Amino acid sequence: MNTEDPNSPPAPPEQKPTGELDDQGSISPVGDSPVAPLAGTPTRTHAALLFILICGTLLAADLWTKSAAFEFLDVSIFTTPSGFPAVTRSPIHVLFPGCALEAALNLGAFNGWFAWAPWLLIGVSLLALPLCFFWATFRSSNYLFVIALALISSGAAGNLYDRWVIGGVRDFIRWSVKWGNTEYVWPNFNLADSHIVIGVAIVMVLEWRKPEISEATHP
């Protein structure tokens, strides 16, 4: 016998989980947390496309700014009698206090490290690029991690191009701090270096905030 009151309000519809269906058939929830949209688990296709888009765009920006800065500063690259590439004397063009443009050619990594082993640096980059793509596509747990790996890869690819084609990395950004009568100058760098630093910083923050991100995406 049906004892349901005909005048009672209808029951609310059953709430279904929302989110994107990943390649494994599970749903990646998208909550109200501001962290959730970027922290949600991407599909392999989305991760690969996002990685390629970011990496390709930043790589193009890095190579263009290097060429544009060297042309603006009117410097050229030549080969020394010992067979190493070098750059002609560069002027310093001040953009604002503490930041200027100055062309330099780095034969090593940060501050000239491993300048004696350029093929080691090339080998590390050639190994890192496919690993980053694989990790972003098949092992990434959230979109931010894909972005971080794309940043790192774009920087590695930009400097790899310089080492392979030119024999050294083109740097043009000059940071300095003046204290009294002494000026402390940071080693010149480029956009590729900045991309790598930002990408590594994002990875470190994600590792540090992993419990919070996990709670936001899987309440």
Which residues are known catalytic residues?
Answer: 171, 193
For residue 68, the number of C-alpha atoms closer than 13 Å in the C-beta half-sphere is 9
Q: Tell me the backbone φ, ψ of residue 96, rounded to 5 degrees.
A: -160, 165
- Nearest residue to 110 via CA among 159, 166, 148, 37: 159
> What's the token pair of residue 209?
């905030």
- The Cα–Cα gap between 159 and 203 comes to 20
> What's the token pair of residue 182?
């002494």
- Starting at the earlier edge strand, list the strands of the sheet with 169-179: 93-96, 99-106, 169-179, 182-185
For residue 53, the number of C-alpha atoms closer than 13 Å in the C-beta half-sphere is 8
Nearby residues of 110 by Cβ (< 8 Å), 6 or more positions away: 187, 193
